[in-house]
Amino acid sequence: MKIGDLAKAAHTQVETIRYYEREELLAQTARTEGNYRVYGPEHVERLSFIRHCRRLDMTLDEIRALLKFKDSPPKDCSVINNLVDEHIKHVAVRIKELKSLQKQLVDLRNSCAGGGAVDECGVLSGLSRASLAEPATDTPYDGHVHGTHKVSGKRKSP
Amino acid sequence: MKIGDLAKAAHTQVETIRYYEREELLAQTARTEGNYRVYGPEHVERLSFIRHCRRLDMTLDEIRALLKFKDSPPKDCSVINNLVDEHIKHVAVRIKELKSLQKQLVDLRNSCAGGGAVDECGVLSGLSRASLAEPATDTPYDGHVHGTHKVSGKRKSP
DNA sequence: AGAAACCCTGTAGCCACTTCAGTGTCAAGT
DNA sequence: ACTTGACACTGAAGTGGCTACAGGGTTTCT
């Protein structure tokens, strides 16, 4: 099968597959005479594995580690379990953060009086006031958990 | 005050301030003879406003919009409220996603038999099996909500 | 034979910063 | 007056995980 077929089989984009090859998550494959990549079912399995991990929001580095264990399994599975446990923690932290965030946003939104003018709205002033008051929770942000917004190849303001 | 003082006052890094200036969230300031930026309390307020919005996980584009309303307030506040409402929705969606994620991860983790060998662990095979079964939830990912991992200027695998 | 559909490489872009190299300024201490 | 050190400056490049595009080549269908 060619790269397009693999892409369909594993519900991935062609460019992503080539990207994974560059990143050495997928090994380089045989090529046809016309220099096309050739894949078999084993590649579908491996790529699906990767995509599934990504859907679970693991980093490529975490997936790299898992793949290494897949390729040459260690004596006991605690390493793998630790990796997954760590990841569960990261997700838990992020959920907590987002919930607190959500509360702040709703509070902010409720500070709007109604349909009136901006002066009475309270949202902007809420943002200003809070900002001056708070000690700004100087989180070192060591957890590898990030924001709310999807990075999706958009332009800047035009 | 100089840039370092502003940084301290608004709990920000110096480089971030210069970045915001390049991005035109902060206007260019007066300079000393030695070409140092000079700031006043109004800059502390504005930068704190920006940082507060960022802590609420708004994009710089969203903040740009809010700043525009701050600089020249519109007749009614519905535009601002809509912006905040939209943002609340984004956060809600992300929380939901992460919760489903969390469930999958915990299920995966529970598939480990105990302290045994990898063959019996079930985590790796769980990741493989699930990946082949699922139709891969071909989400178009239009919501601007992204992953679980903090981007923090790290090196690649060395 | 010609067009459409696919494939190739290489490079640049996205966000919101961070880091780094290389240089300049300024206040305090000796 | 001189050094030391802390701070400031610019410009460019790097982070993750892709996506998009330019500019070509190959294969397949009609």
Q: What is the pLDDT of residues A63-100, one digit of tens each?
A: 898 888 877 766 677 888 888 888 888 888 888 878 88
Phi-psi region of A153 (alpha: psi -120 to 50; beta: other; left: phi over 0): left
Q: Same structural domain for residues A38 and A77?
A: no
Question: Which tens digits make up the pLDDT trace of B3-12?
Answer: 999 999 999 9
Q: Same structural domain for residues B64 and B140?
A: yes
Tell me whether residues B77 and A118 touch, CB distance under 8 A. yes
Number of domains chain A is built from: 2
The verdict on B125 touching A (C-beta cutoff 8 Å) is no
Q: Same structural domain for residues A104 and A44?
A: no
CATH code of the domain containing A21? 1.10.1660.10
Q: Tokens standing for A3?
A: 């790269």
Question: Which tens digits make up the pLDDT trace of A102-123?
Answer: 887 887 777 765 655 556 676 6
* Residue in this structure with the two tokens 């997928």, named with its chain if needed: A26
Q: Same structural domain for residues B87 and B36?
A: no
Domain final residue pick, A11, A38, A55: A55
Which nucleotide is closest to A149, CA to C1'?
Answer: C15
CA geometry: angle at B50 spanning B45 and B54, to 5°?
145
Q: Same structural domain for residues A77 and A136?
A: yes
Q: Same structural domain for residues A73 and A143?
A: yes
* Nucleotides in C strand less than 7 A from protein CB: 6-10, 13-20, 24-26
Tell me whether residues B146 and A143 touch, CB distance under 8 A. no
Q: Same structural domain for residues B96 and B113?
A: yes
What are A31's strand-pairing partners?
Answer: A37
Chain B window 41-100, residues with Cβ within 7 A of nucleic strand C: 54, 59-61
Q: Pseudo-torsion of CA B79, B84, B89, B92, nearest 10°? A: -170
Q: Same structural domain for residues A126 and A155?
A: yes
Mean pLDDT within A2-14? 95
CATH code of the domain containing A84? 1.10.1660
The better pLDDT of the pair A77, B60 is held by: B60
Tell me whether residues B115 and A69 touch, CB distance under 8 A. no
In whole angstroms, give the CA distance from residue B138 to residue A54.
Answer: 13
Q: Which of A95, A106, A151 sits opposite B102 (nearest CB)?
A: A95
Structural domain containing residue A49: 3-55
Q: Same structural domain for residues A51 and A94?
A: no
pLDDT > 70? residue B101? yes
Q: Tokens standing for A84?
A: 């997954």
pLDDT > 90? residue B40? yes
pLDDT the model gives residue B22 = 93
pLDDT > 50? residue B136? no
Per CB-CB distance under 8 Å, the chain A contacts of B109 are 81, 84-85, 88
Q: Same structural domain for residues A96 and A124?
A: yes
Instruction: Confirm whether any atom of chain D, the nucleic acid strand, is less than 7 Å from CB of B55.
Output: no
**pTM for this entry:** 0.75
Residue with smallest Cα–C1' gap to C6? A4
In whole angstroms, give the CA distance from residue A56 to residue A58.
Answer: 6
Query: Mind telling me how many Å the CA of A92 is from chain B's nearest CA?
Result: 7
Q: Same structural domain for residues A89 and A148?
A: yes
Per CB-CB distance under 8 Å, the chain A contacts of B8 are none
In whole angstroms, give the CA distance from residue A86 to residue A125.
Answer: 40
- For A144-153, B29-38, B64-73, which range has the lowest pLDDT when averaged over its residues? A144-153
Q: Same structural domain for residues A117 and A141?
A: yes
What are A37's strand-pairing partners?
Answer: A31
Instruction: Confirm whether any atom of chain C, the nucleic acid strand, is less than 7 Å from CB of A18.
Output: yes
Which range among B41-50, B72-81, B110-119 has the greatest average pLDDT? B41-50
* Nucleotides in D strand less than 7 A from protein CB: 7-10, 14-21, 25-27
pLDDT > 70? residue B119? no
Domain final residue pick, B32, B55, B78: B55
What is the Cα B33 distance to its own chain's centre? Answer: 37
